[in-house]
Amino acid sequence: MPINRLASFSQRMAALTLTLIACMLILNAALWVFPTLGSNDGLGLGFSLSGVMLTQLAVKIEVLAWWQILGAIVISSVPLIALASGLNHLRRLFQGYARSEYFSNNAAVHLGKVGRGVILWVVSSFLCTPILSILVTLHAPPGQRLLTISFTPADFIALFLAGCIAVIARILAQASEVSSENQTFV
């Protein structure tokens, strides 16, 4: 791929990543504010923790107090903010690639933070799921309250991929050092 096509593609990927970040945070909040988006009768949308609570556990938002809905938005956004941080570093990595910064130390740092963002996303999802399930079933009658704990094979794969990204980031950092040493000898 020619350099200017690669730079243009990297710029488009950076813009697409920013759009993804905004859409996932907005969709998460919208699912709690507009319950028909997540209901099986409506669009059946589900996203991250909101999807688990609204579609799989069939939590009825209509019976929740306003402070429970606000708390649910905040708690379900915590893992997404961790993921958004990692995706923002991916966006910055693409911006660096658009400037032809392929073997820079910054590229390695951003790639490493992408991996850490994914790890934080999985860990915070695991920690926030029980808190969120308690919050949304707090006023449910006895026998209908839930304490949900979830760790799926998809979470394991996300952790594995994040670990791979972290290792590749370290390799890229080493390649950046070798490249800068070679530049000083030339």
- What's the number of domains the chain is made of? 1
pLDDT at 59: 72
Question: Which structural domain, as residue segments, surrounds residue 142?
Answer: 3-180
- Of residues 164 and 183, more confidence is placed in 164
Structure token digits, residue 30: 């919208």
Report if residue 12 sits inside a domain: yes
Q: What is the mean pLDDT of residues 136-156?
A: 83
Mean pLDDT calculated for residue range 40-48:
60
Question: What is the tens place of the pLDDT at every residue in 99-141?
Answer: 988 888 899 999 999 999 999 999 999 999 999 988 888 887 7
- The answer as to whether 167 is a domain residue is yes
User: Is position 185 within any domain?
Assistant: no
In a domain, 22, yes or no: yes
Instruction: Examine residue 135 and state whether it is found in any structural domain, yes or no.
Output: yes
Asked if residue 186 belongs to a domain, the reply is: no
Helix 153-185 / helix 105-136 crossing angle, nearest 10 deg: 160
Residue from 47, 57, 109, 108 nearest 83 by CA: 47
Cα–Cα distance between 119 and 142 in angstroms, integer?
35
Q: What is the SS3 assignment for 60-82?
A: CHHHCCHHHHHHHHHHHHHHHHH
